[in-house]
Amino acid sequence: MFNLAGKIAFISGGTKGIGKGIAKVLKQAGAITIIAGTDSVKGESVAKELGVDFISLDVTDQAECKSVIDKIVKKYGRLDILCSNAGIFPQHYLKDMTVEDWDLVHTVNLKGTFFLVQAALNVMEKQRYGRVVITSSITGEITGLSGYSHYGASKAGQLGFMRSAALEYAGQGITINAVMPGMIMTEGLQSFGDDFLDHAKNITPMRELGTPEDIGYAACFLASDEAKYITGQTIVVDGGQVLPEVQEI
Ligand code: NAP
């Protein structure tokens, strides 16, 4: 386990699923951890369960992203680690997809990443220290999934954003990287239904779905001081899902 003692870590979408797993691991590694989501009741109760702080944030609101980062700096003195993780994945087949469907997914997943990462970088630049870890996906950059063309575009878009941002801040003590999860058992993924989840398990070489903590450990590494020479990169955490050339029977 990498040591994050004394670091201030903020996780968007930290109230459920992968974000909650990241929060658990960063807290275990010693970070003073703050989670965010739009549902304050759920957020406060998860924060209590994990022994972390909660702050309400809708990442689609740029002013709110800036003010939340300002509040964190005011309360904790600095912001060392941002895990930009909040995301949605509603299913819409392309033939019926509306511009509203498209825009919602891009607004939360991609614009929300831009708003929050930009606000955090403005603080990290002054500190000349920062670790940004974006939760992207294998979907979009490596794989496709029927009903998720808008989602795949938003997740691949996060990686394009991440690479150029990493370059702009290289040499300033700031790194910007991404984790690319495969199928991770979360509240969000549960909505796909048991048949889909069983199938996903069977076609994954490790024959199991990932846990939110599996993503947390990758994020913890990228958030550590030891990962200082890594920027603009990705770690796939998928139980081998993207490997097979031909699916074995
Ligand atoms: P989840 O269980 O549905 O949790 C989503 C989290 O995002 C919740 O904490 C939710 O909090 C928050 N959120 C949603 N909209 C938000 C908004 N507008 N502003 C702020 N917070 C918001 O989802 P998950 O499966 O953990 O997925 C988390 C991330 O991992 C997403 O970016 C997703 O694309 C990515 N991912 C997931 C998988 C997977 O298999 N699960 C695979 C690849 C990538 P509230 O409900 O309080 O808003």
Asked whether 83 lines ligand 1 (CB < 6 A), one says no
pLDDT, residue 249, reads 56
246 assigned to some structural domain: no
Instruction: Please write the tens of the pLDDT for every residue from 142-179.
Output: 999 999 999 999 999 999 999 999 999 999 999 999 99
Candidates 178, 20, 18; CA nearest to 113 is 178
The fraction of the chain above a pLDDT of 90, given in percent, is 98
* Strand-by-strand arrangement of the 130-135 sheet: 53-56, 32-37, 8-12, 81-84, 130-135, 174-181, 234-237
Instruction: Please write the tens of the pLDDT for every residue from 83-102.
Output: 999 999 999 999 999 999 99
- Could you tell me what percentage of the chain is helix, strand and coil, using 3-state DSSP and rounding each to the nearest 5? 50, 15, 35
245 assigned to some structural domain: no
248 assigned to some structural domain: no
241 assigned to some structural domain: no
142 assigned to some structural domain: yes
Instruction: Please write the tens of the pLDDT for every residue from 189-200.
Output: 999 999 999 999
Asked whether 188 lines ligand 1 (CB < 6 A), one says yes
**Cβ neighbours of residue 84 under 8 Å, at least 6 residues apart?**
12, 59, 112, 113, 116, 117, 120, 132, 133, 134, 135
137 assigned to some structural domain: yes
35 assigned to some structural domain: yes
**pTM of the full predicted structure?**
0.98
Residues spanned by the domain of 80: 8-236
User: Which of 12, 33, 38, 115 maximizes ligand 1 atoms within 8 Å of its Cβ, making it the mutation to test the pocket?
Assistant: 38
94 assigned to some structural domain: yes
Residue 206's CATH number: 3.40.50.720
Give dist(CA 55, CA 34) in Å, integer: 7
Instruction: Please write the tens of the pLDDT for every residue from 123-150.
Output: 999 999 999 999 999 999 999 999 999 9
Nearest CA to ligand 1 atom 1: 188
Nearest CA to ligand 1 atom 33: 87
Asked whether 191 lines ligand 1 (CB < 6 A), one says no
Asked whether 236 lines ligand 1 (CB < 6 A), one says no
Report the DSSP pairing between strands 81-84 and 8-12: parallel
Residue 246 pLDDT exceeds 90: no
Residues labelled as active-site residues:
151
Count of the separate structural domains present in the chain: 1
Which amino acid would we find at residue 58?
D
